[in-house]
A and B are shown apart, each in its own frame.
Chain A
Amino acid sequence: MSTDKSQIEKLIDGTLPWPELRDDVLPDPKDPERFETTIEILQERVDWDDRILVPLNDHLYVVAGDDGRTVKAECGHELCSADENWKLECDIRAREEQEETAELYPELMTPDPDWTFQIREYFCPECYSLLDVEAVPAGYPILQKFEPDIDTFYEEWLDQPVPDGQ
């Protein structure tokens, strides 16, 4: 079963009806061109020209720019170089007290404040999109959750030259 581009657009938008999702998109074998189709759609949608190498989440990409590979937000804000932890360049709100977590869920349904447990929200410092939420004890290091091996992916898995290669 192969999916067409408009189905992938709807998949990205979250508007693909369940029967299509179930019958065309979920089953194996998967569409072998999925990565390329996805990148093509995402690239058409952003307002900048840097080439998207890999999407990190709905609002964040590793791109090939003039100054090498960087982590770039959808709004155009550049956070850091691709091998660094982009979270370190975000703004953060850490909810730890009862009155802070009470905005999310009712009393008793959020962490007990006596346990110094945090809900950390990471925002894009430009447009304040919410880029990640962590639930961790106070003092927990900020993990770099994903370090993509871009060269291996393009050269060995897709058997293509890396888009920003020499």
Chain B
Amino acid sequence: MSQEPETTQGIASDEYDRVEPPIGWDGQTLQEMLDESEQLLEDTGRYHGRERLEMKEDEPFQYERMFSRLRGALVNARETALHISASAIVREIGELAFQLYTPEGDCIATSTGIIVHVHTGSLAIKYMIEEGYEHGRTIQPGDIFCNNDNDLGNVHTADVHTLIPIFYDDELIAWADGVTHEVDIGGSTRGHDQLASTTRYEDGLYATCEKIGENDEVYQDWRDRAERGTRTPMFWDLDEKCRVAGAHMIREALTDLVDEVGVERYKEFTREAIEEGRQTLESRVQERLFPGTYRDASFMPVPFKEEGWNPVSQKNMLNHLPVEMEVGGDGGLSLDMTGASPPGPHPYNCAEGSMQGGLWVSLTQCLLHDGKVNDGSYFAVDANFPEGSVVNPQDPSLSYHTAWGSIMPTYQAVWKNISRAFFARGFREEVNTGYSESGDTMSGGGFNEVTDEYFPIAPFDLSCQGMGASASRDGLDYAYTMWNPETDMGDIEEWELIEQGLPFLSRHIKPNTAGHGKYRGGSGWETLRVVDRSYDMSLYKHVRPGVTNSTSGMHGGYPQATNYSVRVHNTDLEEQFEDAEYPISDKVPGDLEEDVDGDVVRTERGIYFPTTFENHDLVYYHMGGGPGYGDPLDRPFDLLKEDLEKEIYTPDVVESVYGVVGDLDEEEREFEIDHDATEERREEIREQRREESQSVRSFIDEERDRLVDRDLSDPARRMYSGVFDRGDDWSDEFREFWDLPENFEINME
């Protein structure tokens, strides 16, 4: 492939003069700027000590206009640049985002898209400052930097950042950061969120805040290394061009703005915009929440005993992700994960910056939907992700490939904590019990029999999961994912264009996925696909959680259903296709076997490791539902009638959970309730509750005996043992709750 020199926005590469440090504002080095900023925050509790937002008060129109223009430039860069990409993940689903940072690395504004990255780019910039790049590596106009090293500021390996410094009269005035989610990043197996990776050395291509270009051109050696290091070099190349072009558009727009308003006013604006973000969060807390202490816990099952490849990972693990939050009397918000599990031989290790990103993406959706979305909210929350735990390992040797496996369950607990506060305050409409975690439905790739070309499999229709219920209505059906509020299923045809060897046979609602409750969770959906005219096809399924729940419902609502796996090899589909027949569903697990002959592999786990598939093999995956809210017996009959008619639930489940009995006409999809039988069934359910329950006090006695006998599954024992080994306060609280001696331990031999 011939490489045209990259000149964007008509800026010829020889226009740049070298700048000598210091490159910060008013003769400061970047390190001095960063130190001063941190000191002022510590001394005053306010960003850069801005007590009063003078510009906002004195010239509000100018101030708001500057923010709108920056925000517009970021959104515009994203909307334009995504057309350069060839990857459906980027182009169709919009898995990219652009951010603008201050010289010392604080986010001023962000585009739409995968906004989880607001704080990850910040950490990468701060790393470069602290490592003295200004003096050693040098930071020059026209430079291009790249980072996807999770430990330094990234969410997971497949997210790649391109950072460019923006200069104005030899001063660094900002950084622009573009991030896209790559469909392949090299690594031990195909796929963008690997399952098999247990250490960094299996993760794939890493750029560690690396200078990858100057004078607006990407170095040839970097381009060659990256293209040779990933399985999809064409996607890589175009995604990189997309990030660079978008960042250059932002530079152009910012330069125009500064030309117009003057650099001093721009600088003051950035300080105030971030402080405003911080103040907005504090005032929102007082306006919407209730002071007090909130606790919840999530769990991440890692069922690798039978599936794991690396011998050290061949065990069933359960990660503990507890979240205690404090809404302070002063409007402060704190979050503490003391008691989190240690890191492990799995791809779910998560750097602190990614956890901060998850916090931020959550707060912008529940508390800050209309505020100035920037690092101000980061400064307003006091978060403790304990060092050495799975949510802040501080160890670059671990695998961070699928950090979402810690982020997504954790924020279920955060959302519940905040929702309890909303409820207490009367804002029932803002309650959200959580969501279905997206996992990765299907990943891998194969070769097209006709063209001999490699195609990746990475459908991002997984961004359409069931949302949790609120305290005033059901959760959204198949239309939500926590990491990108602009979720989109994408057209089937678009996926088939890229994923040539895996056409779809069906897409429809998956019954019985939605969490039960007075308000049910949003429903999930399922799809069947067939391997077609391909060879060397390797796929894995990475849907979480499978063997346990990761979260609960709220206020009497149930957790959503768990996930499972099924696939069929050596099928009779070739013959079926001749008769224009084929299976379309596994609506109730086991249905599929009725419509296809072959070797069915069905497990309780939502995952399977990379597996070879042949033509006419059948691939199945489904998206989960959201958690429910409130006692199911409080759910109105008309909503249940609708649930049955839309196939959100099947009649047997509605009868046993909600006590509603009647006749469902499967053809017309009409349900007629039998009021007498329903009255009787509901009375029976209440009676069952009475008979099958015991006092919590006696339950505690029984469970305590069980703990003393260590009568627990291996993964549960392993979880307690790992947390006890870390020796923090959580273990003491555990012993205290169960009234166990101080030296009580749970060990894994």
Which of A's residues lie within 8 Å of B, judged by CB? Answer: 8, 11-12, 14, 16, 18, 21, 25-26, 28, 30, 32, 34-35, 37-39, 54-59, 87-94, 103-112, 114-117, 119, 121-123, 125, 128-149, 152-153, 156-157
* Minimal beta-carbon separation of B319 from chain A (angstroms): 11
CB–CB A115/B713 < 8 A: yes
Complex contacts, A148 vs chain B, CB 8 Å: 290-292, 424
CB–CB B656/A103 < 8 A: yes
Complex contacts, A157 vs chain B, CB 8 Å: 286, 291, 329
Give Cα distance in the complex from A89 to B693, angstroms: 13
CB–CB B693/A129 < 8 A: no
Q: Kindly supply a per-residue 1/0 record for chain B positions 585-615, scoring 1 wherever the CB is within 8 Å of any chain A CB and 0 otherwise.
A: 0001110000000000010110000000000
Complex contacts, B370 vs chain A, CB 8 Å: 28
* Minimal beta-carbon separation of B137 from chain A (angstroms): 44
Give Cα distance in the complex from A145 to B561, angstroms: 23
* Minimal beta-carbon separation of A35 from chain B (angstroms): 5
The 3 residue pairs across chains A and B that have the minimum distance between CB atoms? A38-B426, A135-B549, A57-B555
Complex contacts, A108 vs chain B, CB 8 Å: 562, 564, 589, 602, 604
CB–CB B703/A139 < 8 A: yes
CB–CB B423/A57 < 8 A: yes
Complex contacts, A114 vs chain B, CB 8 Å: 547, 713
Complex contacts, A149 vs chain B, CB 8 Å: 290-293, 327, 329
Q: Enumerate 18 A-B pairs (CB-CB under 8 Å) in ascending A order.
A: A21-B472, A30-B427, A34-B427, A55-B426, A58-B634, A88-B696, A92-B693, A104-B653, A112-B547, A123-B693, A128-B693, A132-B554, A133-B556, A137-B713, A138-B716, A148-B291, A149-B293, A149-B327
A94 with B699: in contact, given A104-B657, A115-B715 (CB under 8 Å)? yes
A34 and chain B: residue at smallest CB distance: B426
Give Cα distance in the complex from A136 to B519, angstroms: 22
With beta carbons under 8 angstroms apart, the residue of B295, B636, B692 that contacts A145 is B295
Dominant SS among interface residues on chain B: mixed
B650 and chain A: residue at smallest CB distance: A106
Q: Kindly supply a per-residue 1/0 record for chain B positions 292-317, scoring 1 wherever the CB is within 8 Å of any chain A CB and 0 otherwise.
A: 11111101010100000000000010
Complex contacts, B734 vs chain A, CB 8 Å: 141
CB–CB A119/B707 < 8 A: no
Give Cα distance in the complex from A141 to B696, angstroms: 12
With beta carbons under 8 angstroms apart, the residue of B295, B416, B555, B695 that contacts A58 is B555
CB–CB B424/A56 < 8 A: yes
Within 8 A of A (CB), among B67-106: none
Besides the known contacts A93-B693, A143-B297, 14 further A-B residue pairs in the complex with CB atoms under 8 A apart: A11-B472, A12-B428, A57-B554, A93-B692, A114-B547, A115-B548, A117-B548, A117-B713, A121-B689, A128-B689, A128-B690, A132-B556, A136-B299, A145-B294
Complex contacts, A112 vs chain B, CB 8 Å: 303, 546-548, 604-605
B495 at the interface (CB under 8 A from A): no
CB–CB A105/B561 < 8 A: yes
Give Cα distance in the complex from A114 to B417, angstroms: 30
Interface contacts (Cβ under 8 Å), in number, total 251
Within 8 A of A (CB), among B545-594: 546-559, 561-564, 588-590
* Minimal beta-carbon separation of A37 from chain B (angstroms): 7
CB–CB A139/B287 < 8 A: no
Give Cα distance in the complex from A16 to B697, angstroms: 40
With beta carbons under 8 angstroms apart, the residue of A56, A103, A116, A129 that contacts B713 is A116
A111 with B737: in contact, given A30-B427, A35-B425, A134-B552 (CB under 8 Å)? no
Give Cα distance in the complex from A136 to B719, angstroms: 12
B516 at the interface (CB under 8 A from A): yes
Give Cα distance in the complex from A117 to B690, angstroms: 22
B518 at the interface (CB under 8 A from A): yes
Report which residue of A16, A37, A87, A110 has the largest number of chain B beta carbons within 10 angstroms of its beta carbon: A110
Complex contacts, A38 vs chain B, CB 8 Å: 426
Complex contacts, A59 vs chain B, CB 8 Å: 556, 631
B712 at the interface (CB under 8 A from A): yes
Give Cα distance in the complex from A149 to B286, angstroms: 13
Complex contacts, A133 vs chain B, CB 8 Å: 552-553, 556-559
B694 at the interface (CB under 8 A from A): yes
With beta carbons under 8 angstroms apart, the residue of A34, A91, A142 that contacts B694 is A91
* Minimal beta-carbon separation of A101 from chain B (angstroms): 9
Give Cα distance in the complex from A146 to B554, angstroms: 12
B429 at the interface (CB under 8 A from A): yes
Give Cα distance in the complex from A28 to B288, angstroms: 11
* Minimal beta-carbon separation of A145 from chain B (angstroms): 5
B56 at the interface (CB under 8 A from A): no
Give Cα distance in the complex from A136 to B554, angstroms: 14
B420 at the interface (CB under 8 A from A): yes
B187 at the interface (CB under 8 A from A): no
Complex contacts, B697 vs chain A, CB 8 Å: 88
A128 with B703: in contact, given A34-B425, A108-B564 (CB under 8 Å)? no
B681 at the interface (CB under 8 A from A): no
Complex contacts, B546 vs chain A, CB 8 Å: 112
Complex contacts, B360 vs chain A, CB 8 Å: none
CB–CB B712/A137 < 8 A: yes
CB–CB B559/A116 < 8 A: no
B549 and chain A: residue at smallest CB distance: A135
Give Cα distance in the complex from A57 to B519, angstroms: 13
Report which residue of B420, B471, B699 has the largest number of chain A beta carbons within 10 angstroms of its beta carbon: B699
Complex contacts, A130 vs chain B, CB 8 Å: 556, 631-633, 689
* Minimal beta-carbon separation of B373 from chain A (angstroms): 14
Give Cα distance in the complex from A12 to B427, angstroms: 10
Give Cα distance in the complex from A18 to B476, angstroms: 13
B669 at the interface (CB under 8 A from A): no
CB–CB A105/B512 < 8 A: yes
B733 at the interface (CB under 8 A from A): yes
Complex contacts, B472 vs chain A, CB 8 Å: 11-12, 14, 16, 21
Complex contacts, A145 vs chain B, CB 8 Å: 294-296, 416-417, 420
Give Cα distance in the complex from A110 to B163, angstroms: 45
Give Cα distance in the complex from A56 to B294, angstroms: 12
* Minimal beta-carbon separation of B332 from chain A (angstroms): 12
